[in-house]
Amino acid sequence: MGLVQYVVNSGLIAVEKSIKTGRPLWATWRDFYLWTSVTYLAGASAAGLIARLVGTVGFYAVALAAPIVAVVYLTYRTYLKHIEASEGHAREVERHVDELSHYIEELKRTEEERDRLLVREQQARGEAEESSRVKDEFLATLSHELRTPLTSILGWANLLRAAQLDDATRAQAMEAIERNARNQKRLIEDLFDVSRIVTGKLRLDVRQIDLSRVVEDAVEVVRPAADANGIRLEAFCEPGAGEVMGDPGRLQQVVWNLLFNAVKFTPPGGRVEIRLAREGARPSISVSDTGQGIAPEFLPRVFDRFRQADGSTTRSHGGLGLGLSIVRHIVEAHGGQVGAESPGEGLGSTFTLTLPPLAVRAAHAPTELHDDRSAAESERLLGGVRVLVVDDDDDARQMIGAVLTQFGAEVRGSGTAGEALETLSRWKPDVMLSDIGMPHEDGYDLIRRVRALASEQGGRTPAAALTAYAREEDRERTLAAGFQLHVAKPVGSAELIDAVASLARPAV
């Protein structure tokens, strides 16, 4: 009976401990309670023997039982020590288990973080490789787009110099040279616009304008190209729908870009439509065409810089892939939005921009000079005006002199800053036009030396920087150095005449 009681009691305790430690029940009972059966049985036997001795010999049984009690006591002390050691071992095991669990959790977190870093590194590497590929394609495209018009310009120029051409061929040559030069100018302006956008220096000359006028002007510019390709170009303007605050030149650039793309990618016999209307309180301009459309996978990237749906050497259309990126940034600078839709390739496309009634006001920039004067008026404005042209490039200096002379100005040229100072003090010009990049002394050195002169020596001569350095910081630097105007090359005849006339106005 005692043995059964011991097994049950020790078994229940072993169940509880095995649940705590996670060990098997038999192993727990064997390691912690099997050996205690000796103590239990010894104690039970001693108790029975002592009871029998007391009943037989009386008081002397106590002395006889003393050794038995001592054995039981020592066994009990040993049991307690073993229990304490077992509990210490169990605590040590639990501590190790906790440390191991913590280590495993840290290891898992480290592996997860490593996997995340690996994924991010792979994504970053993929993006870098894609960016590098796109830039390589862009540089190859840029080289192609710049070399192509140069080939035409140089070829026709050689023919004009070496061959006796009839009037019709000569006119064709001049038209081709001018057209390709304008194409190069447009490419360079797009590159400068992207540079201004990236550096946050795109400036807007904001004023109240009517978008219907912007649309009409852009349509008139694009219509000859549409007519030449047999494309029907239609414009619809809702009355009173286009009153906004914005930069008319930049917004016309946006509309022109959208129309030019639509005409470029629409086959002969197709149709291009531009519509100005209101969406609620917001003016909206949409340009739709029946052209080649946009593939669904390319549509989300259609406004990205340097992106072209077809960048291969077999593509049908030229360009740098910058126009739509510039469109998006100009529209967003006005506080508007622009988007593109297309059902798919071969199904046409629609570009839609919306502007707030009062767009974001940006810092004012100098108003662009426009070709709005007749030749007679220009000649009257420049008649008798003395102009000193300073440029180390003989061709540029002679071209500028020829244009100004044609419209009544008296022109003298200088190839260096030192020569220009001598001419200035001796001839007393009314206006000085100077290049910036020149050997030995540049345009900044020249204007500083001019402004250091006394008035009677020409120190207050109005001056314009006529330079290929066309960034916003270049303009600010030229004005700070002492020039009154900054005119970026290439420059047209009308803009050149306007610049000289504006500087010479107090003298004429």
pLDDT confidence bin for 231, thresholds 50/70/90: very high
Class assignment of domain 375-507? alpha beta
How many residues in the chain? 508
| Mean pLDDT lowest among 112-121, 140-149, 234-243, 341-350 | 140-149
Tally the C-alpha atoms within 13 A of residue 280's C-alpha that lie toward its C-beta. Answer: 5
CATH architecture under which domain 207-354 falls: 2-Layer Sandwich (3.30)
Residues 434, 447: Cα–Cα separation, whole Å? 9
**351 has a pLDDT exceeding 90:** yes
Residues 336, 348: Cα–Cα separation, whole Å? 24
pLDDT for the residue numbered 325 = 82
pLDDT confidence bin for 440, thresholds 50/70/90: confident
Instruction: Give the model confidence (pLDDT) of 285-339 as tens digits.
Output: 999 999 988 888 888 888 876 555 444 333 344 455 677 888 888 888 888 889 9
**506 has a pLDDT exceeding 60:** no
Comparing 45 with 432, the larger pLDDT belongs to: 432
**410 has a pLDDT exceeding 90:** yes
**365 has a pLDDT exceeding 50:** no
pLDDT for the residue numbered 370 = 41
CATH architecture under which domain 132-198 falls: Orthogonal Bundle (1.10)
Give mean pLDDT, residues 192-201.
68
> 472: which residues sit within 8 A by CB, 6+ positions away?
196, 201, 203
Q: In this structure, what DSSP letter does residue 42 have?
A: H
**413 has a pLDDT exceeding 90:** yes
Does residue 217 contact residue 259 with C-beta atoms inside 8 Å?
no
Q: Which two tokens stand for residue 353?
A: 């921009």
Residues 224, 232: Cα–Cα separation, whole Å? 11
DSSP per position, 141-185: HHHHHHHHHHHHHHHHHHHHHHS---HHHHHHHHHHHHHHHHHHH
Catalogue the long-range contacts made by 144-148 (C-beta closer than 8 Å, 24 or more residues apart).
144/318, 145/187, 145/318, 145/319, 145/320, 146/184, 146/187, 148/180, 148/318
**43 has a pLDDT exceeding 90:** no
Comparing 44 with 506, the larger pLDDT belongs to: 44
Residues 291, 264: Cα–Cα separation, whole Å? 9
pLDDT for the residue numbered 138 = 61
Q: How far is CA 497 from CA 41, 402, 501, in A?
A: 125, 12, 6
Nearest partner of 64 among 45, 49, 44, judged by Cα: 49
Give mean pLDDT, residues 69-86.
68
Beta partners for residue 337, in sequence order: 354
Where along the chain do its domains lie? 2-114, 132-198, 207-354, 375-507
pLDDT confidence bin for 368, thresholds 50/70/90: very low
pLDDT for the residue numbered 276 = 92
Nearest partner of 408 among 502, 497, 507, 505, judged by Cα: 497
pLDDT for the residue numbered 499 = 87
pLDDT for the residue numbered 59 = 58
Give mean pLDDT, residues 167-190.
80
Give mean pLDDT, residues 27-55.
63
pLDDT confidence bin for 176, thresholds 50/70/90: confident
pLDDT for the residue numbered 80 = 64
| Mean pLDDT of all residues belonging to the chain | 78
pLDDT for the residue numbered 372 = 46
pLDDT confidence bin for 75, thresholds 50/70/90: low
